[in-house]
Amino acid sequence: MSVEKYLKPSVINQIKRLDLRAQFVVKGFLHGLHASPFHGFSVEFSEHRKYSHGDDLKDIDWQVYAKTDKYYVKKFESETNITGYLVMDLSKSMGYTYEQELNKFDYAICLAAALAYLMVMQQDPVGLITFNDKIRQSLAPKSKRTQLGNLLSLLSKLEPSGTTDFQHSIGQLSAMLKTRSLVMIFSDFLVDEEQTLSALYRLRHGGHDVILFHVLDEAEVSFPFRGVFNMRDPETNEELKIDADGYRKEYTEQIEEFRESLARQCRKSGIDYVPLDTSMQFDRALLEYLLTRRARG
């Protein structure tokens, strides 16, 4: 099986156990790294950072240099571990799919499980927060291997339900976090943009690193509908009858502007923004995590 197949949602959907899904995705991802320009960039170098002007030459790891042709120094103990929180939007809109194998929520859970697996491999503490109109579940971060089982067990039992109050939920999270953390948020962000950004700014002001994994259904991006079509809001059940062919251009322009605007505002605030849809391979999100981890080092 090719590396690409390890990372396709349609293949992952055939694996029913979440722990095996996570291993499958990470295995494919790491295979892909070794065959890519990012060779030497995976978990084996999680204890290193690139040499910077002013670093002591005697700290250079010459074995790493021999493998990569680049200068790396061993990180001090205090620099090494990063506390991560997987923050899952479990509101009802996340349960939507049109014709993909995985709905938005299943897709986000697969990604979160793979990231948890990757973090535990790197001995980084990882915890879990779920929310809709408020925080619903919380699992404190730990780096022990038993944490992975606890986290995956909780993830596999989650069902999307209820409405979203992103600002309130992320405000609760900001108040909970006592030490600088990497906060990875999985959501469709189908809420008021100003309130979303206000909540994110508060997180950043607290000194936390933030990655937004913006998960949309493939149909929400490409709008494949034809003829007269009933659009229904999954959280309010309000219905709107539209002429899909006449509305397509306006819709696709709006969704593109929505994503570009979020990306633009995030960039200004030092927040990493990863636009995804449920047809995309999982490696893009995992690479973003590693890039953020490197930058933090």
pLDDT per residue over 44-59, tens digit each?
A: 444 566 766 667 776 7
Predicted confidence (pLDDT) per residue in 65-87, tens digit: 776 677 777 655 444 568 999 99
What's the pLDDT at 47?
A: 58
pLDDT digits over 243-294, tens only?
878 888 999 999 999 999 999 999 999 998 999 999 988 887 787 777 766 5
pLDDT of residue 105: 96
Whether 42 has a pLDDT exceeding 50, the answer reads: no
Q: Please state, in angstroms and as integers, the Cα–Cα distance from residue 56 to each residue in 36, 63, 80, 93, 274, following that order.
A: 30, 16, 18, 52, 35
Spatial CA neighbour of 22 closest among 286, 214, 212: 286
Q: Please give the pLDDT value at position 130.
A: 97
Q: Sorting pLDDT into bands at 50, 70 and 90, what band is 43?
A: very low
Domain residue ranges of the chain, discontinuous segments joined by +: 43-77, 81-296
pLDDT of residue 295: 57
Q: What CATH number has the domain spanning 81-296?
A: 3.40.50.410
Please tell me the predicted confidence (pLDDT) of residue 297: 52
Predicted pLDDT of residue 127: 96
Q: Say what the pLDDT of residue 188 is.
A: 96
pLDDT at residue 99, as a whole number: 86
Report the alpha-carbon distance of residue 178 to residue 35 in Å, rounded.
39
The encoded tokens of residue 170 equal 């992320």
pLDDT at 79: 46
Q: What torsion, rounded to 10 degrees, do the Cα atoms 139, 141, 142, 147 define?
A: 40
Task: Report the largest interatomic distance among the alpha carbons of the chain, rounded to a whole angstrom.
Answer: 70
User: Which of the pair, 90 or 25, is modelled with greater confidence?
Assistant: 90
Read off the pLDDT of each residue in 134-145 and give the average, rounded to a whole number: 94
Question: Cβ atoms within 10 A of the Cβ of 27, count?
Answer: 15
pLDDT of residue 199: 95
pLDDT at position 253:
95
What pLDDT does residue 36 have? 42
pLDDT digits (tens, 9 = 90+) for 158-215: 999 999 999 999 999 999 998 889 999 999 999 999 999 999 999 999 999 999 999 9
Query: Tens digits of per-residue pLDDT, 112-128?
Result: 999 888 888 878 899 99
What are residue 269's phi and psi, to 5 degrees?
-105, 5
Q: What would the two tokens of residue 295 be?
A: 């930058």
159/157 Cα distance (integer angstroms) = 7
Q: Which residues contact 151 (CB under 8 A, 6 or more apart)?
A: 86, 113, 116, 126, 127, 128, 139
